[in-house]
Amino acid sequence: MSDGINKVVLAYSGGLDTSVILKWLEDTYNCEVVTFTADIGQGEEVEPARAKAEAMGIKEIYIEDLREEFARDYVFPMFRANAIYEGEYLLGTSIARPLIAKRLIEIARETGADAISHGATGKGNDQVRFELGAYALMPDVKVIAPWREWDLLSREKLMNYAAEHGIEVDFAKQSGKSPYSMDANLLHISYEGDLLEDPWNEPEEEMWRWSVSPEAAPDEPTYLELTYEKGDIVAINGEAMSAATVMETLNRIGGENGVGRDDIVENRYVGMKSRGCYETPAGTIMLKAHRAMESLTLDREAAHLKDEMMPRYAKMVYNGYWWSPEREMLQAAIDQTQQVVNGVVRVKLYKGNVIVAGRKSESDSLFDESIATFEDDAGAYDQKDAAGFIKLNALRLRVAAKRRK
User: Which residues are part of the catalytic machinery?
Assistant: 17, 97, 126, 181
Give, as ranges, the residues between 62 and 121 that touch its own copies (CB under 8 A): 82, 86-88, 121
Instruction: Tell which one of 1, 2, 175, 273 touches its own copies (CB under 8 A).
Output: 273
Comparing CB distances to its own copies, the nearer of 56 and 314 is 314
Residue 192 makes contact with its own copies by CB under 8 A: yes
Q: Is 2 annotated as a binding residue?
A: no
Instruction: Tell which one of 127, 190, 249, 280 touches its own copies (CB under 8 A).
Output: 127
Q: How many residues bind its own copies (CB under 8 A)?
A: 128
Instruction: Tell which one of 151, 164, 202, 206 touches its own copies (CB under 8 A).
Output: 202
Residue 1 makes contact with its own copies by CB under 8 A: no
Taking the C-alpha atoms of residue 126 and residue 320, their distance in angstroms, rounded to an integer, is: 8
Q: End-to-end distance of the chain based on CA atoms, in angstroms? A: 76
Q: Is 114 helix (H, G, I), strand (E, B) or coil?
A: coil
Which one of the spans 37-45, 111-119, 233-241, 306-314 is the region binding its own copies (CB under 8 A)?
A: 306-314
Q: Is 11 annotated as a binding residue?
A: yes
Q: Is 121 annotated as a binding residue?
A: yes
Taking the C-alpha atoms of residue 295 and residue 366, their distance in angstroms, rounded to an integer, is: 9
Residues paired with 231 in a beta bridge: none
Q: Is 365 helix (H, G, I), strand (E, B) or coil?
A: coil
Which one of the spans 14-22, 33-41, 165-173, 384-392 is the region binding its own copies (CB under 8 A)?
A: 384-392
Which one of the spans 7-15, 66-74, 233-241, 376-384 is the region binding its own copies (CB under 8 A)?
A: 376-384
Q: To which H or E segment does residue 245 belong?
A: helix 243-256
Q: Is 149 annotated as a binding residue?
A: no
Non-local (6+) Cβ contacts of 118 within 8 A are 10, 11, 100, 104, 126, 127, 130, 131, 143, 145
Q: How far is CA 258 from CA 43, 91, 236, in A?
A: 19, 19, 19
Evaluate whether 141 touches 104 at the Cβ level (below 8 Å). Answer: no
Dihedral, 306, 309, 313, 318 alpha carbons, nearest 10: 110
Give, as ranges, the residues between 313 and 372 that touch its own copies (CB under 8 A): 315, 321, 323-326, 328-330, 332-333, 335-337, 340, 346, 348, 350-353, 355-360, 363-369, 371-372
Detail the residues annotated as belonging to a binding site: 11-19, 38, 89, 94, 119, 121, 125-126, 129, 181, 190, 266, 278
